[in-house]
């Protein structure tokens, strides 16, 4: 039996505390071993469910810890690339929050460093580890809805009451597209295996960050339409619409929080077949898949090459929208 992958976390981010640290602690093949933070109060919240957690007072100290095999990076977006590079150079495998970079070219640098070190570096793009998305891809690619004609989606929330949030700050890589466009864009690429040929975009800006974006695109064989917003009532949905049916995911990105993980397959005669996926934690799945790659060389479901494709689409959306106003 392979030794558990020993994990450290750079920073006591709320998302790490609420989601990823418990997922690492619960995942098979993983051991949550260390946390880097200068805040005793924040550390206490992690130690409440993992009393054995070792504390480091700096990110550098954690990366120098020879007992740590892999690090999870939940830092603000603009810090993802430099700390991923430092972690790889320190000999650690890396799972970094999305977006792993702020431009596609930066991911090329990470791919080169990953290959040079022989370590695993990946973006924490959890949805591809969820069985509802694996099943949706299978349905679409095996013709359950006939020929795909249209993909559309929405992901929105409202954080206008929290101006200090890093998503509302351009200096930390904020904005709705980097935060949630990765899901509406990347999920379409994942399910179809296709890349956009043409892109047009309308974006509303506020203090240098995008707060609303509508993107239309033409892929080989189908059309695409998606909305992301940080100033709308919460909503999320993805639809894959063919000439003989429709696949709809009603809680595609935050299943279990936004709603039940389920796929609706609409077919002729007003037939609706529903597949449900109760009790699945895609964060735990993500960690277990990461560990399986580190321990056994299994194929990782979300390599940096896939993340680069989504980031390239984001880059093209911003280029199509024009400069921030």
Helix (H), strand (E) at residue 306: helix 304-321
Residues belonging to the active site = 98
Is 86 strand, coil or helix? helix
CA–CA separation, 257 vs 259, rounded Å?
5
**Nearest 10 degrees: Cα torsion 296, 301, 305, 309:** -170
> What would the 3-class secondary structure string for 20-61 be?
HHHHHHHCCCEEEEEEECCCHHHHHHHHCCCCCCEEECCHHH
CA–CA separation, 76 vs 91, rounded Å?
22
Distances (CA, A) of 300 to 7, 216, 253, 276: 18, 30, 20, 25
- Contact at 8 Å (CB) between 249 and 260? no
Token pair in block for residue 147: 């020929």
Distances (CA, A) of 93 to 68, 294, 312: 9, 8, 24
Q: Which of 131, 7, 133 is nearest to 63 (CA)?
A: 7
Q: Which of 52, 46, 51, 48 is nearest to 72 (CA)?
A: 46
Which value, in Å, is the radius of gyration of the alpha carbons in the chain?
Answer: 20
Q: Which of 213, 214, 235 is nearest to 225 (CA)?
A: 214
CA–CA separation, 158 vs 5, rounded Å?
37
Is 237 strand, coil or helix? strand
Contacts for 82 with CB less than 8 Å, ≥ 6 apart: none
């Amino acid at each position: 039996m392979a030794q558990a992958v020993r994990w450290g976390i750079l920073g006591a981010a709320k998302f790490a505390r609420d989601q990823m640290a418990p997922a690492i602690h619960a995942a098979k093949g993983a051991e949550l071993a260390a946390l880097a933070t200068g805040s005793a109060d924040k550390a206490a919240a992690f130690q409440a469910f993992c009393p054995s957690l070792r504390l480091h007072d700096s990110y550098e100290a954690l990366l120098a810890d020879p007992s740590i095999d892999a690090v999870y990076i939940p830092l603000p977006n603009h810090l993802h690339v430099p700390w991923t590079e430092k972690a790889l150079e320190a000999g650690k495998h890396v799972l970094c929050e999305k977006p792993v970079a702020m431009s596609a070219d930066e991911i090329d640098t990470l791919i080169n460093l990953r290959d040079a070190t022989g370590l695993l570096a990946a973006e924490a793009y959890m949805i591809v580890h969820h069985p509802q998305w694996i099943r949706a891809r299978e349905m679409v690619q095996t013709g359950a809805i006939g020929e795909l004609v249209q993909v559309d989606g929405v992901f929105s929330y409202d954080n206008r009451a929290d101006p200090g949030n890093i998503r509302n700050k351009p200096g930390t890589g904020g904005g709705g597209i980097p935060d949630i466009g990765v899901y509406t864009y990347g999920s379409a690429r994942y399910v179809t295996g296709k890349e956009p040929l043409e892109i047009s975009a309308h974006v509303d800006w506020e203090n240098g960050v995008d707060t609303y974006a509508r993107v239309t695109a033409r892929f080989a064989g189908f059309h695409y339409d998606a909305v992301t917003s940080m100033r709308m009532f919460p909503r999320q949905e993805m639809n894959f619409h063919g000439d003989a049916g429709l696949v709809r995911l009603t809680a595609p990105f935050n299943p279990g929080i936004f709603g039940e993980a389920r796929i609706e397959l609409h077919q002729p005669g007003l037939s609706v077949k529903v597949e449900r996926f109760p009790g699945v934690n895609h964060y735990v799945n993500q960690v277990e898949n990461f560990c399986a790659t580190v321990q056994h060389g299994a194929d990782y479901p979300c390599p940096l090459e896939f993340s680069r494709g989504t980031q390239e689409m984001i880059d093209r959306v911003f280029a199509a929208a024009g400069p921030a106003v």
